[in-house]
Amino acid sequence: MAISDSPETIGITGTSTSSLTDSDLTHTLRRRPAAATTVPRDVADSGSKTEEDDSTLNDLVRDSGSDDSVTAKICEPGDNGRIGGSEASMDSVNAVQDNKGLGENDRGVDPSAAKFAYRPSVPAHRRVKESPLSSDAIFRQSHAGLFNLCIVVLVAVNSRLIIENLMKYGWLIKTGFWFSSRSLRDWPLLMCCLTLPIFPLAAFVVEKLALQKSISEPAVVSLHIIITTTSILYPVLVILRCDSAVLSGVTLMLFACIVWLKLVSYVHTNYDMRALGKSTEKGDAVPSSSNTDIPHNISLNSLAYFMVAPTLCYQTSYPRTVCVRKGWVFRQLVKLIIFTGLMGFIVEQYINPIVKNSQHPLKGNLLYAIERVLKLSVPNLYVWLCMFYCFFHLWLNILAELLCFGDREFYKDWWNAKTVEEYWRMWNMPVHKWMVRHIYFPCLRHGVPKGVAIVIAFLVSAVFHELCIAVPCHMFKLWAFIGIMLQVPLVLITNYLQDKFRNSMVGNMIFWFIFCILGQPMCLLLYYHDLMNRKGKAE
């Protein structure tokens, strides 16, 4: 071996010598040669090598394309066109070994490549580079490790808080607020829930008569208005007449609202299909490509499937999957049970004690109210995220899997929302699609301005939020209604800030603060104290 005057030139001597020029050392060597992939010693030292063998050996010690280390990388899958990354080059090495009569077990380590990989004369610094966390390079790196660290720290910190809470206060879980002795006697609510399918059947009969042209179109519209209105008023009256548990009332109201939304979609879709059919017969309109392959037929099976499917938008057929994955469904059910239990633990162990030790946020000390809201925000955020995961991801996917329902876009990446408007478009996709299909675009087609159409959509949402909370609590303070309607100015504010700063982080931080730090804890405190005051007066 001899080291030339140039620090970047390495000479290799032996029975047959091949020199590495400056061009051969443009990139340094990355890994030491693996035992199973390098050229054997007798091939490297053989004096009877052909010119092709010399070229192959030079390629073996040539760098793999990375110039930030001085170790050899030989015969590994990677970049095309080089040893250390090319299957073609690997084949040429194998051809050399096969010509020498060497099998797989005879291929050993090339000592020359390993011996000269760490020469002191080989440059360690070859070009300008940025640190991984510098502003120019930070988003080019993978931060999966830091994300894992955040998860580990989050689990560790919350585990400590749980242990500390249990040691200080003991086991606080009681079911009196959610379930009471009268919860088992809430049979009127159960019977009301079991009788809700009467309304879809009534709508089916009306649509069948309309298809047969047995009744006029105004009569069809009037009957559907009566059916849909009764479907929402009937559960409200049952809950108000019965002193039921809060959770039982909320469950019934959610079912009633879902039935109402599905009925409206069913009626509106069939009405539109009849209108398109009449326009086509008269030659006033040409059916679009999306409607030409959908026959207007009224089927009880399609209605029954729609009423249990995880969607609020009716159509005669849906994208379907091939089979049901039973093992997958079982795993999701286990997750659903675990996260539901976690929600109950957080509510009873953390949220209930905080709200019980609080004052009415609008009637007490301002600083004390702010402290309570901030203290309540973290457990409330955990419950909200668990609720989202349990319902929108686990439960709706389980239902879709059992029904072979194909379209499972129940939510989008709402956590990246830059404005409040984006959040409402991505948070609850079944409701969003219903709003767009049956409220927003019909308003636009009837000449309603876009801004007014958005306000109408939020108004409908606010009414149903208030119904689902106020009716089970037997009080109408309109906090949920006001909270939803305040989203309209927030949409304008966040859109303005997003256009002004051109930074997604500003709108996203405002969204998280308004929903998780301020809005939800404040509404929870307001409804809790109003409910406790009502119960106190009743007693």
Residues 6+ apart with CB under 8 A from 345: 173
Largest CA distance in the chain: 106
Question: Is residue 534 packed enough to be buried (19+ CB in 10 Å), middle (13-18) or exposed (0-12)?
Answer: middle
Compute the distance between CA of residue 169 and CA of residue 350 in angstroms, rounded to an integer: 10
Output the pLDDT for position 145: 84
Residues 6+ apart with CB under 8 A from 172: 348, 349, 352, 353
Output the pLDDT for position 29: 37
Active site residue 465: yes
Output the pLDDT for position 431: 93
Output the pLDDT for position 7: 40
Q: Coil, strand or helix: which one is 214? A: coil
Output the pLDDT for position 532: 73
Contact 424, 411 (CB under 8 A): no
DSSP code of 132? T
Compute the distance between CA of residue 78 and CA of residue 30 in angstroms, rounded to an integer: 13
Backbone angles phi, psi at 18, to 5 degrees: -130, 130
Output the pLDDT for position 479: 85
User: Measured at the alpha carbon of residue 397, what is the angle toward residues 394 and 400, in degrees to the nearest 5?
Assistant: 150
3-state helix, strand, coil in the chain (%, to 5): 65, 0, 35
Instruction: Tell me which residues of the chain have a pLDDT lower than 70.
Output: 1-118, 174-185, 283-296, 364, 503-504, 533-539
125, 465, 474, 529: the catalytic one is 465
Chain mean position to CA 478? 31
Q: In Å, how far are 205, 206, 207, 268, 439 from 214, measured between CA atoms?
A: 11, 9, 10, 19, 29
Output the pLDDT for position 286: 54
Backbone angles phi, psi at 421, to 5 degrees: -65, -40
**What H or E segment, with its residue span, contains residue 173?**
none
How many of the other CB atoms lie within 10 Å of CB of 421? 20
Output the pLDDT for position 430: 93
Contact 113, 60 (CB under 8 A): yes
Contact 419, 506 (CB under 8 A): no
Backbone angles phi, psi at 86, to 5 degrees: -125, 130
Token pair 């599905």 in the structure block, residue: 262
Output the pLDDT for position 391: 93
Residues 6+ apart with CB under 8 A from 93: 37, 39, 56, 60, 75, 83
- The whole model's pTM is what? 0.69
Output the pLDDT for position 174: 67
